[in-house]
């Protein structure tokens, strides 16, 4: 049995890795396939692969919080983790109350305790056209988990390049995500999430944009771990597999 740590470490975003993806975002050719692509955008393959290192960063931080348990690759067709006490990094298959759903990382020693998904909108057209659809997806994912597993802690990170985020969408998105990330108790509305972070990044440097969202916002990435941790303590501290 692992000892639960007294906090969850921050999710560490690798700036070097982010800068590499920024170069791919800026380039007009996908170097892996040699195919042309739009500048200031990912092609479809890059969009699918982009946030995987952020998923693993979350999994590593969660595993440390849970007593330095192992991080294992998930089997997308499996309904149980690959070993008894581990954090899985996706896709993790959860059979929720509305539909089956794949999450990017999870801890489920006796059913889903912590679920995580990363979402990215990667160019200005996508932000303008799809940000509300993305919000609907977040609410649906939270609801399908919570309707069957009300004690599950559902978390999201939304990642957007700074040049792709117009001011109008920025303000609307921040207000909406703040409302959506407000679930504090197991009797709260199912479509809400326990923790949401908005990560706005600069492709030319790989740096996180420090002024978005506002430092007081609940969406700050540096608040993500400290928001998640009290939920876990309230629902699972003192219960197996923790001492």
pLDDT tens for each residue of 139-166: 999 999 999 999 999 999 999 999 999 9
Q: Is 0.75 surpassed by the pTM of this model?
A: yes
Distance separating alpha carbons of residues 86 and 123, to the nearest angstrom: 35
Displacement of CA 40 from its chain's centroid (Å): 23
- Residue of 164, 177, 160 lying closest to 218 (CA atoms): 177
φ/ψ (deg, to 5) at 194 = -75, -30
- Residue located via tokens 């809400």: 192
pLDDT tens for each residue of 15-27: 999 999 999 999 9
Distance separating alpha carbons of residues 49 and 56, to the nearest angstrom: 12
Distance separating alpha carbons of residues 212 and 167, to the nearest angstrom: 11
Classify 11 as helix, strand or coil. coil
pLDDT tens for each residue of 31-86: 778 787 888 889 989 998 999 999 999 999 999 999 999 999 999 999 999 999 99
Domain residue extents for the chain = 15-236
């Amino acid at each position: 049995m692992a000892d639960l740590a007294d906090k969850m470490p921050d999710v560490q975003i690798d700036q070097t890795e982010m800068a590499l993806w920024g170069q791919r975002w800026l380039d007009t050719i996908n170097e892996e396939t040699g195919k042309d692509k739009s500048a200031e955008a990912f092609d479809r393959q890059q969009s699918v692969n982009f946030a995987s290192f952020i998923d693993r960063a979350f999994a590593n931080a969660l595993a440390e919080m849970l007593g330095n348990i192992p991080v294992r690759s998930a089997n997308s067709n499996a309904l149980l983790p690959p070993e008894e006490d581990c954090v899985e990094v996706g896709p993790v298959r959860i059979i929720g109350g509305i539909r089956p759903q794949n999450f990017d990382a999870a801890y489920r020693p006796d059913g889903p305790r912590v679920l995580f998904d990363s979402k990215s909108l990667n160019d200005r057209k996508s932000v303008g056209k799809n940000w509300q659809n993305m919000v609907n997806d977040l609410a649906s994912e939270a609801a399908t988990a919570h309707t069957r597993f009300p004690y599950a802690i559902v978390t999201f990170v939304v990642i957007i390049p700074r040049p792709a985020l117009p001011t109008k969408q920025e303000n609307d998105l921040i207000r909406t995500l703040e409302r959506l990330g407000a679930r504090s108790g197991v009797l709260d509305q199912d479509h809400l999430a326990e923790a949401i972070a908005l990560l706005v990044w600069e492709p030319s440097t790989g740096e996180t944009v420090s002024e978005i969202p506002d430092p007081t916002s609940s969406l700050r990435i540096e608040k993500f771990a400290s928001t998640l941790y009290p939920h876990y303590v309230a629902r699972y501290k003192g219960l197996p597999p923790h001492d």
